[in-house]
Structure formats: C-alpha cells, structure tokens
Structure 1
Amino acid sequence: MRAIIMAGGRGERLKPYTTVIPKPLMPIGDIAILEFVILKLKKAGFDRVTITLGYLGNLIEAYVGNGSRFGIPIDFIYEEKPLSTIGPLAFIEDLNETFIVMNGDILTDIDFNKLIEFHKKKRAKATIATNKRFSKIDFGVLNFNGDRLITSFIEKPEYNYDVSMGIYVFEPEVLEYVKKGIPYGLDSLVLDMIQNRDRIYSFEFDGYWLDIGRPDDYEKAIEMFMKIGKDSIQ
C-alpha cells in the first residue's frame, strides 16, 4: 500500500514555533509528530511513503532520510510553489493503485485498514475520513427575516459538524482532476466530484483525532499522546 504525506505547509497558525521548525517536526512526547504518522502507517501495512515538501523541506528530509530507520521506504516531492492539498499529486507519476493521502501533522488512532476496507466496499473513487466537532456560541443568536423582524432567539446554541480529518483514500482516477503546477485543494476536488456525480464517501471515525494547527491544539496533542502513547504504533 502507498501513502502520501502532505508536509509542505508553512504552519502560519502555529507561529512562532514554526519560524524555525516545520510543523510536521514539532515534538510530541519524545518523537516528532511526523514520525508518529510514519510509524503508524508502517504498522498498518503500508510499504511505501512519499512526502511532499515545501517550507523548510530540507529539514524534514534530513530528519526522515530514506526511511530505513523506520523500516519503510520514503521518497520526496518538492513543491516549487504552494499547490494546496491535492495539487502536489500531479507530480507523483506512479500512483496506479488505491492510495492514501494525509496531512503530516495529525495525531490519531484511526485504523487505516478499516478505512480502506470501507472505501473498497463502497466502490468509491474517493473517501474522506471525518470526525464530529462541536462548536458552542457564547452569545444569544437571533434569526430574522428580510425586514429585520426577529423570528427566533437561541441562547448560547451548540452545533455539531462532520469535519474532514485530513485523511483521504483515492483511486488513481482522481488524478484526472489535478493539473500540474496548478494549486488545487480538497474543497475544489470535492465540489468537482459532486458535480460530476462521482462516488465520494465519508468514513465516520469517533476515536482520537487532532491536528496541531494552532498552539492550543498542539498542547492538546501532547496531552493526547500521553494517553494513547507509543502503544498505538508499536
């Protein structure tokens, strides 16, 4: 199985940490979060990893090497300019079978094999792993009509959403949407696939999941790692 790890972002929301350290190399416990991702993929049975690089990519390549110390072959693709979530796939020429794409800053105990099994069972062209997130509004929310006549009032409502986890399963046919050198995000891909009536599914996951996109998320990720620890990757 083949996995593509997206690690080319600048980590703007995590500054000042990411001024000198690329986000995937931020430590959780005694390892970098990217190392956690790689080892979890290896445990799931993946036999090759490709990492897309951009900002401070030389540091990531130096840290990871060819993958021998992790026991899995690793190669790299460099983005000359930011290409968003899906754009870098156009430069990977040998994606001929089902493959996974994921962000390089995710802490999760998802079962990749169950995700792929679901994808195959649905005969999907793309499957997005999703997780429920809750958002509380700390104010009273008003609804009104076009004449500004108030029609309802909700005190401090709570909403829940199914959000993308940054983990996707794709068939090679997805690459038909991607143009070389043109930025192309997951949002554009999903909308294009919906318009073309392609089979794209959501895989609901209710276990541990967190990225380290913001300082408070990073702190939570460290706490989470203390709970799930290395047992999930050994």
Structure 2
Amino acid sequence: MINWTKAIVRPSTAILDAIKVINDASTQICFVLDEQERLIGTITDGDIRRGILARINLDRPVTDIMNSSPTVLSEHQERSRAKILMQERQQSRIPIVTDDGKLIDVISLEDFTDIPAKETSVVILAGGLGMRLRPLTETIPKPMVPVAGRPIMEHLLENLRNQGFRNISIAVNYLSHVIEDYFGDGSRFGLNISYIREEDKLGTCGALWLLDRRPVEPMLVMNGDLLTRVNMQSLLDFHADQGAEITVGAVEHITEIPFGVLNAEGVQLKSLIEKPKLSHMVNAGIYVLNPSVLQMLDGSKMDMTDLIEMSLNKNGLVSVFAIHEYWRDIGRAGDLKLAEEEIEGLG
C-alpha cells in the first residue's frame, strides 16, 4: 500500500517541489488539494515528463501541469470498481473522494495483486575499464565499486527485481570474473542472470550482437554504473506509445556560467545576465531498443551513439524519455561520495 498522505501538494507548490514529493513518497503521483482538502488535480510521472520535455519552468506552480479532471472513485462505490477503472484508464492509482470532493484514500494496483514477473529482456553493460575511477578500478570493475556497502550494480539489479524484471544479461569484459563470481546465475538475488562475454572491446552496444537469444519484444539496455529509481515500466509504456524504434532516457543537466554574460551588438552592450544557468537534456545511459535495431549490428565495435545516429539516418523514430526520478552516474570519485549520502536517504 502507498502512503498517499506524503504525496499531497498545494496549488501554489512549485513543480520542482512536487517532483521531490513524488520521488520521496515513491507514489508515481501526487495530489493537489485546496485549503478545504478537496482534490482539484493530480500530477503523475507522465505529466512531469511532458512538462520537462516542453522546457517548462520548474519553479512554476503545479497547476500549470496538473490534470484538473482526474479519474476518481466515490466513497459510496465498491472499491473493487477501482481495479476496473485502472485497467480501463491504464492507471495505477485511483483517489477516493467524498461527496464534496475531499480526498480520503487512494487505491493502488498493488492492493489487488503482487507485481508479476516481467518477460522483458534487460541487458546491463558492464565491460568498461572505469579509467576515471582509478585506482579503485585497478582491481575491480566499475560496476562492482561499493556504494553503501554494496556494489553499484547490486543496487541497480535490486531495483529491477523490485519492479518485476527477472531476466538479466550482463555484458562483461574487464575483470569479468569479479562480476560473475559475485552474481553467479542470479538465483540468490531472485534473478535469472546470464553473461555476454566480450573477447574484444565492442563499444557500448556492440556486445548486443552476442546475445544468445534475440528478443521478440522491446528490450531494456542500461549502463552498469548507474544508481536510479526510474520506473522502467513507465519507460517501456512510453516507448510503445510513441511507436519508437529507440527510446533514450534523459536527465536535465544544469550548467552555471560563473560570470556575467554580455549580449552585445558590435561594441554596444544590449543586456547583461549575471551567472546564467543553462539547461540541457543529457543521455542517462538507459535505453529501450526494438529487436529490429539489432539488425544494424555486425559484430564489430559500435557505441550506442553510433547506433542511434544510424537509426536517425534511416528515418527511424528515436524518442526521448524525461527522467525525474533519482538518477546518478558514477563517473568520478566525487560522484561516489554524493551517491553514498543519497542512497542512504532513499532506503
């Protein structure tokens, strides 16, 4: 059951604060209540992702992106009706309201059933040298660097398992025995783990050529040095809704210029912006690939960026999935320190 009382915001709440509420409460939704505790709207993962991609100012109030006509259940209706509504509307949360619109409870899909095991194939890319984390990675591969007492990749795999994903292939090369000795066949982690063994370095996606079984449905592919709480089913659903060939997970990266920026025409100053912040959507190292994409591989070295460009060049549809949940790439030693603090807070 979800603790919906932690997912309440007010109409004046900033979108950025609502994102934090959703992530902290792990509800995938928050509820906008007025001063009389009446439900006036909801904000879901999808609402936030659409807002981020539309480059909406996250300091704006939640009323700018909320659904002001959410599907609700009356307190007088049978609660079993909620399951039907969730199936019809493809929702996982249904608010229950009184006759005067006050929110009194929330029914979750998890209230009716355990999360079933998913057949989706997942590939974890874990063959890199981890040069930026030397000397830590001289004796262990980067995905095995410990965060809060456990390897980075164990946190990643635990999150996948908790979301119902069981079938995991791990692409290994550098110090592969360390990974294989620790995770084995995955049974002690509640997973089915197999290994893609690169004899030569094949880049960030070339190892997919070596898959024993080619998937018949879209597959998840992600870097093995990530810590994240991304809702992978939402990502897969988005991919299907877009009809995409490839979907790229993206996070917002803010760059602050530590100087005043001059906007000049010739020698005449028109305006000055003090220490502006630039926002870009950057690659999060999480992808969904259609099986047909694998036909572009030929066993030679290829990076994911090359595969994406090949898809674009043949007019393939590549979509962008905005990630607002917790995400951290462990690229440098400083990231490890931050991750230690953050992962403890996530529980």
Structures share fold, TM-score greater than 0.5: yes
Aligned counterparts, 1:61-100, within 5 A: 61-96=180-215, 97-100=217-220
Aligned-pair CA distance for 1:47: 2.4
Counterpart CA distance in 1 for 2:134 and 2:233 is: 34
Structure 1, residues 23-79: CA drift from partner, whole Å, max 9, x if none?
Answer: 111111132111111111112222210000011111111011110101111011111
| Residue in structure 1 matched with residue 231 of structure 2 by the alignment | 111
SS in 2 for 1:164: strand
- Aligned residues of 1:142 and 1:150 also touching (Cα < 8 A): no
Unaligned runs of 5+ in 2: 1-119
Choose from 116, 125, 147 the match for 1:6: 125
Cα gap change, 1:149/1:121 in structure 2, threshold over 3 Å: closer, same or farther?
A: same
Aligned-pair CA distance for 1:178: 1.3
| Residue in structure 2 matched with residue 214 of structure 1 by the alignment | 332
Counterpart CA distance in 2 for 1:168 and 1:202 is: 9
Unaligned runs of 5+ in 1: 230-234
SS in 2 for 1:69: helix
Counterpart CA distance in 1 for 2:184 and 2:336 is: 25
Structure 1: which amino acid aligns with 2:310? D
- Answer with 154-163 or 102-111: which moved more: 154-163
- Aligned residues of 1:124 and 1:199 also touching (Cα < 8 A): yes
Alignment length (residue pairs)? 226
Structure 2: which amino acid aligns with 1:132? E
SS in 2 for 1:114: helix
Structure 2: which amino acid aligns with 1:18? T
Counterpart CA distance in 1 for 2:268 and 2:255 is: 23
SS in 1 for 2:281: strand
Larger radius of gyration: 2
| Residue in structure 2 matched with residue 199 of structure 1 by the alignment | 317
Structure 1, residues 2-23: CA drift from partner, whole Å, max 9, x if none?
Answer: 1000000010111111111211
| Residue in structure 1 matched with residue 159 of structure 2 by the alignment | 40
Choose from 217, 242, 252 the match for 1:122: 242
Counterpart CA distance in 1 for 2:204 and 2:264 is: 37
| Residue in structure 2 matched with residue 17 of structure 1 by the alignment | 136
Counterpart CA distance in 1 for 2:321 and 2:288 is: 10
Structure 1, residues 174-227: CA drift from partner, whole Å, max 9, x if none?
Answer: 1121120x2111211221111111111011111210011111111111111011
Cα gap change, 1:92/1:144 in structure 2, threshold over 3 Å: closer, same or farther?
A: farther
Q: CA RMSD in A?
A: 1.9
| Residue in structure 2 matched with residue 232 of structure 1 by the alignment | none
- Aligned residues of 1:211 and 1:218 also touching (Cα < 8 A): no
Counterpart CA distance in 2 for 1:25 and 1:50 is: 16
SS in 2 for 1:21: coil
Considering Cα pairs closer than 8 Å and 6+ residues apart, tell me whether 1 or 2 has the greater RCO.
1
Cα gap change, 1:155/1:95 in structure 2, threshold over 3 Å: closer, same or farther?
A: same
SS in 1 for 2:203: coil
Choose from 136, 139, 146 the match for 1:27: 146
Is it true that 1:228 corresponds to 2:228 in the alignment? Answer: no
| Residue in structure 1 matched with residue 252 of structure 2 by the alignment | 132
Choose from 282, 289, 303 the match for 1:185: 303
Aligned-pair CA distance for 1:144: 7.9
Percentage identity across paired residues of the two chains = 36
| Residue in structure 1 matched with residue 275 of structure 2 by the alignment | 156
Counterpart CA distance in 2 for 1:104 and 1:176 is: 24
| Residue in structure 1 matched with residue 292 of structure 2 by the alignment | 173
Aligned-pair CA distance for 1:157: 2.7
- Runs of 4 or more above 3 Å deviation: 139-145, 148-155
